[in-house]
Amino acid sequence: MMKYIKSCYKMFQVRMIRFLTLIWSKEFQLQEFDKVLILSPHPDDEVIGCAGLIQKLLKQQKEVYVLMITGGGAAWSQSLIDTNELIAKRKELMFAAAGIIGLPHEHYIQLGWTDGELMDIVNKPEKQLEFVRIIESIKPYMILTPHPFEIIDDHNAVNVILNHSMKISNHKMKVFYYWVHAVRPLRGLILGWTRSFIVSLDKEEHQIKRRALDTYLKLLTPFNKPYSGELYKSLLFSMKWNKELFFDANFNSKV
């Protein structure tokens, strides 16, 4: 019963966020961002949150890079599938999805940090320096990171690492949050809607995004589940939307 109630609550969140998006959000103007870096905690986050945006940037001849933080090895228990096998398969799917949306494989940088343990390393100086070195080597005009109100700890940890990194680097850029899934309870109405933006996908862009998502979802493990893990019904529903949601992080950008 409790599982059903939680599922209904998450579905309500998705519908409410869509409703507020249509009321408040302005179309995202991308012309000024010649080089963009997307922080993706796991293989598939970059497609769920940004596949449409990536397509539009590439059409405008912009440079787009993805910093893949983990290999996604915690999607399933090691008792079900070997962790190294799972990471290798998710990497294969990541590059297959990249090919569909048109992003070159060499524009993916893989950190290889441990999935599910990012909160344990956010305060380690050597990890922060590694993070900063990659950002400063790319020198993006804009960085996109998952929204800190999301329910997934690894997504929140990426934001903590980003904030720490801002204190030890002089590279200036704009920072935006991208939306993946549900928010922590009671925070959905205080996401910063006056600073929210949408990317509206045309029919072709939406079809391409759906194909890239299917790459992650339709190839199943030996126990008949997606390699990306057990996916909420509300997440699967939210993936079908032909819009993507972003928020100005209002950092005044020192990363």
Angstrom distances, CA of residue 67 to CA of 13, 29, 70, 133: 28, 23, 9, 12
**pLDDT over 50 at 252, yes or no:** no
Q: Has residue 151 got a pLDDT over 50?
A: yes
Residues of the chain with pLDDT > 70, as a percent, come to: 94
Q: Is the pLDDT of residue 189 over 50?
A: yes
Q: What pLDDT is attached to residue 183?
A: 65
Domain positions in the chain: 25-70+80-248
| 14-36 per-position pLDDT tens digit | 888 888 888 889 999 999 999 99
Under 8 Å between Cβ of 208 and 101: yes
74-to-21, 67, 77, 116, 135 alpha-carbon distances in Å: 32, 18, 7, 6, 25
pLDDT higher for 190 or 252?
A: 190
Q: What would the pLDDT profile of 216-236 be if each residue is shown by its tens digit?
A: 999 999 999 999 998 877 787
- Look up residue 107 and give its DSSP letter: G
CATH architecture of 25-70+80-248: 3-Layer(aba) Sandwich (3.40)
Residue that is written with structure tokens 């893949």 in the block = 68
For 33-78, the pLDDT digits (tens) are 999 999 999 999 999 999 999 999 999 999 999 999 999 999 999 9
CB distance 70 to 113 below 8 Å: yes
